[in-house]
Structure 1
Amino acid sequence: MIRENLKAAQIEAMKNKDKARLGAIRMILAKVKDRDIELRTASEQPDDDVLVTEVLMKMAKQRRESIQMFNDGGREEKAAEEQAELDVIEDFLPKQMDEGEMNAAIAQVKADVGAESIKDMGKVMAELKARHAGQMDFGKASGLVKASFG
């Protein structure tokens, strides 16, 4: 589904002669193809939307880090380029949960798996990743899970 949306957006960007968007979409598709090639020898193939979402999340994280570094280094023009790419990447990502939704999901998962102490954090994180892949920032979720046990 996401892969088809990317291909349709690529065609639309070509028709509209939107070079910046087209370049970003082509870069995304290239990363997805690289990931496909990596997984050729894997014993289990993930769901296509999960695979594409993982690639998009990784790319978005890289762009955010680059934007921070460019801003810290006084390279606003490069930060703006990265922000433009990030905007295109985020167009294809599923809607991200806000902190309240993340806390509700964490509480639900904790109840479902019977987590009672920080020792159960791994079980909670694994279940969150299974249920909400692509919908939450797991770096932030990890802190929220840890705080929920405190």
Structure 2
Amino acid sequence: MMALKETIETEYKNALKAKDKTKISTYRLILSSIKDLDIINRSGPNKKDTDDEDIKKLLKKMVKQRAESIDIYKKNNRTDLLEIEQNEYEILTAFLPKQLGEEETKKICADIISKLGASTVKDMGKVMGALKKDYADEIDFAKAGPLIKELLGS
């Protein structure tokens, strides 16, 4: 399997050939952020090579920023800016594992709750921990929290 960084670099080269402005600028942004991350990882006390996990975290952060901007632009009817952010959002999310929808997330939360025998909101941490262990990439934890609360509260 190709490392995430190589995949992004390949996509960047394709975008250059295709003269796709949006993709070129988005990939440039990603690659320069990865470069910054490399520098941080190499210069810190715990020297390490930047791995796919690091890059996924970085991409998630970038996706979150885009999602927040999209909300703001929608509220303020800035369609010009909205389009740019939405395109970037699409490009960024393409490199991340598909996130599960609310129905599937709810089902997984319910399964974990019954498997752990969790019964009150006090067990929230245990449930979240199990989720993070098994579904770190597929679940949006901002959405999972309220679902778990709801399931444990009922």
TM-score range relative to shorter protein: 0.7 to 0.9
Q: Aligned match of 1:120 in 120, 123, 140?
A: 123
**Aligned counterparts of 1:93 and 1:5: Cα–Cα separation in 2:** 12
The one-letter amino acid paired with 2:132 is K
In structure 2, the CA distance between the partners of 1:98 and 1:112, relative to structure 1 (3 Å rule), is same
Whether the aligned pair in 2 keeps the contact of 1:95 and 1:135 (CA below 8 Å) is: yes
Alignment size in residue pairs: 150
| SS in structure 1 at match of 2:112 | helix
Q: Aligned match of 2:23 in 21, 25, 34?
A: 21
1:97-116 alpha-carbon deviations (Å, 9 max, x no partner): 01122122212332444422
- Does 1:139 pair with 2:131? no
Work out the percentage of aligned pairs sharing the same amino acid: 37
**Aligned counterparts of 1:123 and 1:32: Cα–Cα separation in 2:** 33
Whether the aligned pair in 1 keeps the contact of 2:23 and 2:91 (CA below 8 Å) is: yes
**Aligned counterparts of 1:53 and 1:120: Cα–Cα separation in 2:** 28
Gaps spanning 5+ residues in structure 1: where? Answer: none
| SS in structure 1 at match of 2:54 | helix
Give the corresponding residue for 2:93. Answer: 90
Whether the aligned pair in 1 keeps the contact of 2:113 and 2:127 (CA below 8 Å) is: yes
Tell which structure's C-alpha radius of gyration is larger: 2
1:51-104 alpha-carbon deviations (Å, 9 max, x no partner): 222111111111111111122223210111111111111111111101122122
**Aligned counterparts of 1:125 and 1:39: Cα–Cα separation in 2:** 28
| SS in structure 2 at match of 1:97 | coil
| Alignment RMSD (CA, Å) | 2.2
**Higher RCO (C-alpha under 8 Å, 6+ residues apart):** 1
Q: TM (normalized to structure 2)?
A: 0.84
Gaps spanning 5+ residues in structure 2: where? Answer: none
In structure 2, the CA distance between the partners of 1:78 and 1:127, relative to structure 1 (3 Å rule), is same
**Aligned counterparts of 1:46 and 1:142: Cα–Cα separation in 2:** 32
For residues 22-41 of structure 1, what are the structure 2 equivalents within 5 Å?
Answer: 22-40=24-42, 41=44
